[in-house]
């Protein structure tokens, strides 16, 4: 596969793993991650971060140790490193070292600076508006509940929205 195709496959695989995680299907997510990791001799730091996010990883856990070891080998100054830094912060948080956790949460936030591209966001919103027209919703009307009441599950991170979504 060409690099672009490989990147797209990896992105879709990550999204699928994330969907399994959010559905509390951790075993299936780990299995898919194992299959993705099997192709690599040395697991990538991103894969370690994903694996860590599936369970409450602590500093003493093998995945936690590998993530912390990656700090010596990786350049974490680029925006793409934000999720890994965030996960390292969570490892420290799960281990009760809140000062270190805050340090890595801050580094994660700093790495994200400049990631947001207003023009790209506006183009994406325009595409959504063009795609989901009143006609589309009318065509899909029979696909849902007969109720006229919409259900929106919104909230801040860690506020229970995932649990609410699963209950519904």
Question: For residue range 46-85, what is the model confidence (pLDDT) as tens digits?
Answer: 777 888 888 888 988 888 888 888 877 766 667 677 888 8
Q: Is the predicted pLDDT of residue 38 greater than 80, yes or no?
A: no
Q: Could you give the 3-state DSSP secondary structure of residue 109?
A: helix
**More confidently predicted of 157 and 3:** 157
Q: What is the mean pLDDT of residues 21-43?
A: 77
Nearest-angstrom CA–CA distance, 9 and 46? 15
Sign of CA dihedral 103, 78, 22, 24: negative
Q: Is the predicted pLDDT of residue 103 greater than 90, yes or no?
A: yes
Q: Is the predicted pLDDT of residue 45 greater than 50, yes or no?
A: yes
Q: What is the mean pLDDT of residues 94-116?
A: 87
Task: Compute CA distances 118 → 79, 123, 124, whole Å.
Answer: 16, 9, 10
How high is the pLDDT of residue 91? Answer: 92
Cβ atoms < 10 Å from Cβ of 97? 16
How high is the pLDDT of residue 4? Answer: 57
Sign of CA dihedral 98, 100, 103, 108: negative
How high is the pLDDT of residue 40? Answer: 60
């Amino acid at each position: 596969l060409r690099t672009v195709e490989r990147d797209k496959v990896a992105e879709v695989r990550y999204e699928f793993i994330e969907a399994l995680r959010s559905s509390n299907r951790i075993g299936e997510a780990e299995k898919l991650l194992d299959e993705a990791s099997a192709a690599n001799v040395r697991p990538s730091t991103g894969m370690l971060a994903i694996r860590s996010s599936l369970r409450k990883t602590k500093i003493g856990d093998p995945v936690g140790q590998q993530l912390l070891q990656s700090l010596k080998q990786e350049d974490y100054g680029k925006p793409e490193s934000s999720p890994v830094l965030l996960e390292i912060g969570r490892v420290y948080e799960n281990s009760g070292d809140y000062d270190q956790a805050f340090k890595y949460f801050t580094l994660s936030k700093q790495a994200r600076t400049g990631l947001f591209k207003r023009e790209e966001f506006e183009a994406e919103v325009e595409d959504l508006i063009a795609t989901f027209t009143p006609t589309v919703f009318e065509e899909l009307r029979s696909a849902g509940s007969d109720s006229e009441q919409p259900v929106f599950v919104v909230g801040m991170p860690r506020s229970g929205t995932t649990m609410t979504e699963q209950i519904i």
